[in-house]
Amino acid sequence: MCCTIDLLPEDDDTEALVQHYLNLEPNLTELYEQWSNADANFKKKAPRFAGVRILKQDAWEALVGFICSSNNNIIRISQMMEKLCNHYGPLVGHIGDAPYHDMPSPSILADPKVESHLRRMGFGYRAKYLHQTAVQISQTHEKGWLDSLRNPESPVMGRKVGPAGEMLPGGREGYRVAHEELLALQGVGPKVADCVCLMGLGWGEAVPVDTHVWQIAQRDYKFGKGRHKSLTKATYDAVGDRFRSLWGKEAGWAHSVLFTADLRAFSERLSTKIEVTMVKVEGGDLRLDAGLAPGIVTATKTEVVETKVKREREAEEQDGSVPSRKISQVKRRKKS
C-alpha cells in the first residue's frame, strides 16, 4: 500500500520566492552568448564560470550590507549583518533551538542609542553611517521611497513588470536617478550606490567599479592611459559607459562574471588544491579519478595534492624582470 503526501500547502510560495531571489528566470546561456559575441575578452574567460547570477535582494538589506562592506571582508560583513538581525530584527522563527531574525527596519536603526551600541559591537565608523542613513530614510523620506527607485522591469515579487525606458550610454534615466538619490545617503559613494542599484534595485546596467574592476579595465580594456590614468569620478563613469556599450542593459551582470573569473584566478595563483578521489575498481585496486594521469595506486583514502604559489613583488611583475608567479612548494601526501 502506498500513498501520496502533500508536503507543502497549495498556497505555499517558497519555490517561487527562491526562483525570484536567485533570479533564475533569465536564460543564462543566451546572455553569455550575447556578451561573448560583443566582447572577445568575455568569450575567452566566461565559459569557465557558468552559472553566475545576480541576486534580487531586498533593497534595504542590500543597502545596509554594502555600507557594512566598506574596507571589509565577507566574513566580517556576514557577522555584522547577523548582529544587526539578532539584536534589532523581528523574530522569524526557530530551526531547532536556533532563532532566526529578519532585517531591522530603518525606523528601528534610527534610535539614538543604536550608533553607540553598534560601535561597541565592532562596527567602527560604519555605525555612524548606518544610523544616519536609517534616520534619513525613516524621517526625511516617505515610506516605500527606497523601493520606488527600483527598475520597473525587475519589480519586487508579486508586482507587475513595467517599462524602464530607453537605454542610453550612461544607463536608463531611472537608473541615473536612483544612483544620484543613493549618493545623498551617509556612507554611500559611487561604488556602493551602484552595488545597491544592481543587486537591490534591479538596474542591470549599474557597474560597480572598485580597485579590482579598475585593474581589469586597465589590463583588458585599455584604460589607465591619458585622461583615464587614475580612477577619478570621470574615469569611473567612463569604465561603466564602456562596459554598458559592450554588454547593454545587463552590463553589471556581465561585469560580475569577469569579476568572479578574475577573483578565482587570483585565488588559484595563491593556493591551488586538487582533490583526488580514489575509486575502487575490479580486482580490488584503486585508481585516481580527478582528471590526472591514470595509474594504479595503493592509497585507500583521498589524496590531496597542494601547490602553494607565491606572488612576486608587483614592481618586479611590471618590469618583467621575474615571472609573475612561481611554484615555491609542491607537497604530496599519500595515506595507505
Catalytic residues: 191
Compute the distance between CA of residue 101 and CA of residue 93 in angstroms, rounded to an integer: 7
Pairing of strands 98-101, 271-276: unpaired
Compute the distance between CA of residue 298 and CA of residue 197 in angstroms, rounded to an integer: 55
Alpha-carbon dihedral sign for residues 112, 116, 117, 119: positive
Name the amino acid, one letter, at 153.
E
Rg of the chain on CA atoms, in Å? 24
Phi, psi dihedrals of residue 100, rounded to the nearest 5°: -130, 130
Per-residue DSSP letter, 5 = -
Compute the distance between CA of residue 153 and CA of residue 244 in angstroms, rounded to an integer: 17
Alpha-carbon dihedral sign for residues 66, 72, 74, 79: negative
Compute the distance between CA of residue 260 and CA of residue 48 in angstroms, rounded to an integer: 10
Greatest CA separation for the chain: 78
Separation in Å, CA 203 to CA 38, 106, 286, 313: 20, 22, 52, 38
Identify whether the C-beta of residue 244 lies closer than 8 Å to the C-beta of residue 171.
yes
Residue 64 burial (CB < 10 Å; 0-12/13-18/19+)? buried
Residue 327's contacts (CB-CB under 8 Å, 6 or more residues apart) are: 307, 308, 309
